Structure 1
């Protein structure tokens, strides 16, 4: 990736437009002093566009200058309490301007904010506090009861007082490293250290494929503590966008905001898009220019149905907390292959490796490995990562087609062996998700006395719909091999999910062994 690519991309996305010369000098001066982390990105935006509205949330409407003042006030209060470089501060907040101020206030001192999933239980919060060696937790009022067992200081929304002043804040010797917790679907989540961008190249890699523009109005529905919500915040600050936030995702509210032309772009996780599609269509739906999703696979047929209603504006980024991004599917990719994860953006290398760590040919399922400029810096507990040939293993299985598009076939640890045959639950999920009666579906492997393992399918039906288990099995039998047919078909009112929309497989009721 070279300077012409960066300059061309920034020009296409409106980042090189003429402006007040003094403000432009201050803008690049801020980046030069503070770097390309959150503290620097906010300062460059405030220097260039101080009076532009930065955030609109459920309670406030703040400009970039006001957002920076709030972040510096929190930084000053933390400094007064002795917080400094490398200290870890927990952040347990829902999407709001206050959360952004707090997050950037922490990094301003060179301390490390730890983004905590709002869905964690009190016992999990206590475990995170110990595992991450938190010095304190800053939180919304509603989380005070869950935090009561912690022995470290906690600070709610009333802290710091209005009289707190930031004083003279200088760039820290070592920029703060944001720590994002893994989803924690199988136990206590691990902390992953996010790298600080070294320049414009990571931003350009993403906006080259996802056409977000300077000054866009961006609704970030994905939780800011989630990798994708956090990435959306980074991109929005770099673009000097107006960020719209809701404390909780409400499909009707988001649908009405889109229909009213209130935003140019939506950043969400797939389950949110699915919930939007469960609502009746509304006039004015085709006002979005970008709907960018990430965090889990798109259920079968969802991409096509969404674009038929909202226009060809859907972009699907496949990545992880550890890998950042792997590939990005554009609307053209999704029209051609609705289940694709797209193609690697500029500066990213993806390889499909077989069991002998050799590159698998197109169409052959193997393990997905990736490298790019934003690979994470490791886990806070020094847990091992799998690397081959300088690439990081994602833990996913996938393949690449003849056109170079990436497809994710499931997690390595999800694949089961049934009667000696390799079975991928994800392909059966996609098949069942396409049934018109089905709203949600999950397919997992369960123990079997005769075959070792077998598939179990869990279905949530649309309102007033009915479906016979034998019809489900026959649908799979007609379209897949016999060993893909789920013996167990279980109907539920809802699938158990965590706060980012991922299905909690461990909480699905297990059928009787047999």
Structure 2
């Protein structure tokens, strides 16, 4: 394992620690000999791919519920059988190993089936963001050149730029809609003959968020082995047989992580096609999930319902609510812990570096803005912005991460900066005396105002914590006198009142003068993409 000369925070990663984590989670446990043999054979043949993981789970627990959506419930055996037939059906229609298949789907069983089928075929699965415009989709499809596009009916209108010779399959036909070819038709008409592993495993291509520019395709590696699951399990105490509610979109790295961790845990994925805060509480009460994978804005919207609404629903089944994708305000962290108990876990990572650190409920009570500590198999070093050398505790620098799951580069040929085997996250932050990581902001979020380096996050935290504020975003804008200045965009709760001068006075009394926003705009809501991230360029517009 590489390591720079200076200080790092290290999640460890000995073989003994990995094995102990997998045993504790129930990934490794005694079982019926014939089931265990089938499980091992699947992993030996297919490796730690999505096909290998689900085939192994189907061999071990064939009759366990694998995925639930609003239309179907599939066991592991039923799911993998459908995936094999889908792979055969797509191959009959001209899709070959090494090709690409683009998926434009919301969370449902069909999308999970597609993930497995792509892995069985040995094709790359290109995950398309459901929030992309027709122009953006056309640009992505032109770059990726998929052999087939599998999409829900609702996205037909934005797929007008899809080449005519591309195979189109409808994954979620709406009642009454006219569709040429459905996923069910491909499955039902195909052979159930078993498949052999492809000569070269397919990969998953995840699009970057595109909050500051056009989305890029990032090639995600297949895990090097079952031990990769131990990284998340070392900090988030998921267990075998977990029931995982997934409102986080599966085209996003965090929704994808829910699917990947479900395989070794032989968990049940409860899919949520569209997020609605109260409907999510109803689903928790009705379907009794023990864990939930969500993005931070979803947690905030649940809190916005108010305690009276939250208490109408029994959420006691939830042991774990794992968030990732963007920063969550400290006030929301504390409020969530107060409302739902010590169940909150905050995952810091990216499409490019996978996992970097995870904060558990104890960490978040101690320091609500922390990104936590690195899990097993990960190391973090903070490097000086100018010299690139590791910095001491408490000093802000650039965050670099090392683990076995660093991405393999962008599909356009570009890559992330690396140093000593560590990859830059694009964020700046520091490590405190307790070994906790704090993220100050993106490299490009920092502004230089009057010669001072300032980040917007502490301004956002301060404003967001005020009674009546629903959410806040702060960005840098050009300034003739100071070079740059902050502009604040504030969304208030219904019935709340606040003036621009009150916002400025609040910041002036708590932070340095260059942190005071010169412009304060009150908006109904912040512009967000499909994964809940604020789109800064839309704020500037």
Report the TM-score, using the length of structure 1 for normalisation: 0.97
Deviation at 1:322, TM superposition (A): 0.1
Deviation at residue 133 of structure 1 after TM alignment: 2.0
Report the Cα offset of residue 257 of structure 1: 2.5
The residue correspondences of 1:154-173 to structure 2 (distance < 5 A) are: 154-157=168-171, 158-159=182-183, 160=186, 162-173=188-199
Match of 1:212 in 2: 238
CA deviation after TM superposition for structure 1 residue 388, in Å: 1.3
Aligned residue in 1 for 2:317: 287
* Residues in 2 aligned to 1:376 and 1:393: alpha-carbon distance in whole angstroms: 12
Deviation string, structure 1 residues 312-357 (Cα, Å, up to 9, x no partner): 0111010000000110001110010000000111211101100201
Provide, for residues 366-415 of structure 1, a one-character-per-residue CA deviation record: whole Å limited to 9, x for no partner: 00001101111111111132111211001101010011100000000111
* Partner of residue 202, structure 1: 228
The ranges of structure 1 where at least 4 consecutive aligned residues each deviate by more than 4 angstroms after the TM superposition are none
Q: SS in structure 2 opposite 1:113?
A: strand
Question: Deviations along 1:90-125, whole A, 9 cap, x unmatched?
Answer: 000000000010121011111000000011111111
- Does residue 263 in structure 1 map to residue 289 in structure 2? yes
Contact 1:6 1:200 in 2 (8 A): no
User: Displacement of 1:4 after TM fit?
Assistant: 1.7
Q: For residues 410 and 63 of structure 1, what CA distance do their matches in structure 2 show?
A: 43
Matched, 1:49 2:61: yes
Which of the residues 489, 495, 499 maps onto 1:468? 499
**Match of 2:458?**
427
Deviation at 1:57, TM superposition (A): 0.5
Q: 1:384 to 1:509 in 2, by over 3 A?
A: closer
Residue 272 (str. 1) matches residue 264 (str. 2): no
Aligned to 1:317: 347
The equivalent residue for 2:417 is 386
Deviations 1:296-327 (A, max 9, x none): 11112111110111110111010000000110
The answer to whether 1:6 aligns with 2:18 is yes
User: Residues 219-276 of structure 1: CA distance to partner in whole angstroms, max 9, x if unpaired?
Assistant: 0111000001101110012211011001111111111233456110000000001011
Residue pair 1:266, 1:292 contacting (<8 A) in 2 also: yes
How many angstroms apart in 1 are the aligned matches of 2:211 and 2:226?
A: 34
Shift of 1:202: 1.4
Which residue is 2:98 aligned to? 86
User: Which deviates further from its counterpart, 256-265 or 414-423?
Assistant: 256-265
Q: Distance in 2 between matches of 1:421 and 1:46?
A: 58
Q: Hey, what does 1:176 align to over in structure 2?
A: 202
In the TM superposition, what whole-angstrom CA distance separates every residue of 1:150-207 from its partner, at most 9, and x where no partner exists?
1133221313151211424100111110111101123321111111111122101111
Higher RCO (CA-CA < 8 Å; seq separation 6+): 2
Query: Within 2, Cα distance between the matches of 1:80 and 1:287?
Result: 44
> Comparing 275-284 with 91-100, which one deviates more in the overlay?
275-284
1:229 to 241, 255, 271: 255
Spell out the pairing of 1:322-361 with structure 2 (5 A cutoff). 322-354=352-384, 355-361=386-392
Could you say what secondary structure the match of 1:30 adopts?
A: helix
Does the 8 Å CA contact 1:261/1:288 hold for their aligned counterparts?
no
SS at match of 1:447: strand
Check the 8 A contact 2:242/2:291 in 1, yes or no: yes
Inter-CA distance 419–496: structure 2 relative to 1 (3 Å threshold):
same
Provide the residue aligned with 2:472 in structure 1.
441
Q: Deviations over 1:33-52 (max 9, x none)?
A: 00111000110111001111
Instruction: Tell whether 2:51 aligns with 1:21.
Output: no
Q: Number of paired residues? A: 510
Aligned counterparts of 1:23 and 1:499: Cα–Cα separation in 2? 40
Pair 1:461–1:384, CA change in 2 (3 A): same
- Which of 213, 224, 241 in structure 2 is aligned with 1:187? 213
Aligned to 1:495: 526
Native 8 Å contact 1:328 1:341 kept in 2: yes
Contact 1:259 / 1:282 at 8 angstroms: preserved in 2? Answer: no
CA distance in 1, matches of 2:362, 2:287: 24
Shift of 1:481: 0.5
**Distance in 2 between the 1:45 and 1:427 partners?**
45
1:71 touches 1:105 (CA, 8 Å); kept in 2?
A: yes
Equivalent residue runs for 1:104-123 within 5 Å: 104-123=116-135
* Separation in 1, partners of 2:359, 2:161: 44
Please list the CA deviations of residues 395-450 of structure 1 after superposition, one character each: whole Å capped at 9, or x if unmatched: 10101001110000000011101111111011111111111111110000011111
Q: Structure 1's 96 and 506: CA in aligned 2 closer, same or farther, altered over 3 A? A: same
**Match of residue 400 from structure 1:** 431
Distance 1:285 1:80 in 2: 46
- Equivalent position of 1:142 in the other structure: 154
CA distance in 1, matches of 2:529, 2:256: 17
Match of 1:62 in 2: 74
RMSD: 1.2
Does structure 1 retain, via aligned residues, the 8 Å contact 2:348–2:371?
Answer: yes
Q: Unpaired segments of 5 or more residues in structure 1?
A: none
* SS of 2:18 mapped into structure 1: helix
With over 3 angstroms needed to count, the CA separation of the structure-2 counterparts of 1:243 and 1:384, relative to structure 1, is closer
Aligned to 2:9: none
